[in-house]
Amino acid sequence: MNYQQVIEEVYQEVQEKNLRGKVATYIPELASVDPNQFGIALVDLEGNVYGVGDYEVPFSIQSISKVHTLTMVFHVFKSKLWSRVNVEPSGNPFNSIAQLEFEKGIPRNPFINAGALVITDALCSKFEHATKQVSDFINELAGKTCVSINPSVKNSEKNHGERNTALAYFLKAYKNFDNDVEEVLDVYFSHCAMELTCVDLAKSFSFLANDGYSIFAQREIVSESHARRINALMLTCGFYDEAGEFAFRVGLPGKSGVGGGVAAVMPHKFSIAVWSPELNEKGNSVKAIQALELLTDKLSFSLF
């Protein structure tokens, strides 16, 4: 399979469509990113890297980091974690307070903001220096030191974080939050403000294409069973309230972020990261979604 040729074709076809969206403006720092950037990196299970476009430019991974943080606590809390957060698609905006109240403080899944705050709270219970541990973990998965936290993006999120703060106190009111709210929010904003290139992001997801074993960290990250469950969550909940559409059009487990990135895996084949900052109305990258749809069509791969 000539992956390089395929991703170059995909890149060219997406560029020719001249798709437009809007960069995320509710985090002011993200609004200033050049909207025309577009990169694709694919990593196979031998560790070969194929890239095109702006695939070596670092960008803000935002909610994609929620997969990394979930992985870090998945096996530690076992079934207790799933009494604190559910595994159902939300069908509502990712920062909905109404849904959290209706469901009595148990977030619908780990990838909406309330669920990710519960996961970050669990991280803070487990690790004394949680932000450093997340950075170290992603660096290990990528096989090199590559994570940086953009202080401007972090501060931008913090200064416009009223809704996340409200969600955290809501969780606290329902006794689903163990640590200091401000401390957990600081870790949460930090991991959302982490920056990676498409190559390093794809490498960091490689273990999910490989039954839980990372060829870059050279160890089992999670069991095969846990890797399957994380992939199932990504497929059903990884794209805000557009997860069904993504499964229908693309058919790969993945996770998007409002920085314009998407990381996805084809189990037993490859991991891939695509980035372009302009988003559709659901908060997913217009070009990245189109690129992944074209890719699975060309390769005739999907889970289905």
Catalytic residues: 63, 66, 188, 240, 258
Tell whether residue 113 is among the known ligand binding residues: yes
Which pair of tokens denotes residue 201?
């992001």
Residues 6+ apart with CB under 8 A from 28: 156, 160
Burial (CB < 10 A; 0-12, 13-18, 19+), residue 121, is: buried
Tell whether residue 258 is among the known ligand binding residues: yes
Q: In 26-147, at which residue ranges do the beta strands (DSSP E only) sit?
A: 39-44, 49-53, 59-60
C-alpha dihedral sign at 137, 147, 210, 121? positive
Tell whether residue 63 is among the known ligand binding residues: yes
Helix (H, G, I), strand (E, B) or coil at 101: helix
Tell whether residue 164 is among the known ligand binding residues: yes
Cα–Cα distance measured from residue 181 to residue 24, given in angstroms and rounded to the nearest whole number = 25
Binding site per annotation, positions for substrate: 63, 113, 157, 164, 188, 240, 258
